[in-house]
Amino acid sequence: MSRLSFEDVLGTNYVPGHNERYTIKIMVESMEAELVSLDQVTLPQVAERDKLKDKILACKALLAPTRRLPSELVREIFNHSLPSWLSKMEGSAFPRPRVSETPLSLAQVSRHWRQIALTTPSLW
């Protein structure tokens, strides 16, 4: 018995016969060709969509309220936000501060924050 559809046996323990296996192989090849065809149509659209999403995120970043903070205020926030990491290293033979506890963590956020952090002597 040869079937045209195997929907009712998908995900079951059904064992197809010799003729059915041949039919299934033909169906799989046909579906794979259709998938390749669909990929050729959709992949460029997906890439274009991803580019557009990246551009939207970049534009939204331009609107971030932190961009409007004066550098002096950001510098003051930096001074108060970090623990006194130098005092933590005192008394240690081999001081190894975690990067998240040093001014380096602030310098990794953005170019603007890096410039402020590097030009704030009180952080170092």
pLDDT tens digits for range 14-59: 899 999 999 999 999 999 999 999 988 898 999 999 999 999 999 9
Which residue is it, tokens 């998908």? 10
Q: Which two tokens stand for residue 113?
A: 């924050």
Q: What is the DSSP letter of 103?
A: H
Whole-angstrom distance, CA of residue 50 vs CA of residue 55: 9
Q: Contact at 8 Å (CB) between 77 and 63?
A: no
pLDDT band (50, 70, 90) for residue 1: very low
Q: What is the DSSP letter of 99?
A: G
Q: Which of 30, 31, 26 is nearest to 3 (CA)?
A: 26
Whether the pLDDT of residue 90 is over 80: the answer is no
Sign of CA dihedral 107, 88, 75, 116: negative
Whether the pLDDT of residue 102 is over 90: the answer is no
Average pLDDT of span 61-69: 89
Average pLDDT of span 90-118: 76
Whether the pLDDT of residue 73 is over 90: the answer is yes
pTM: predicted TM-score of the whole model, two decimal places: 0.49
Q: Which of 117, 123, 104 is nearest to 71 (CA)?
A: 117
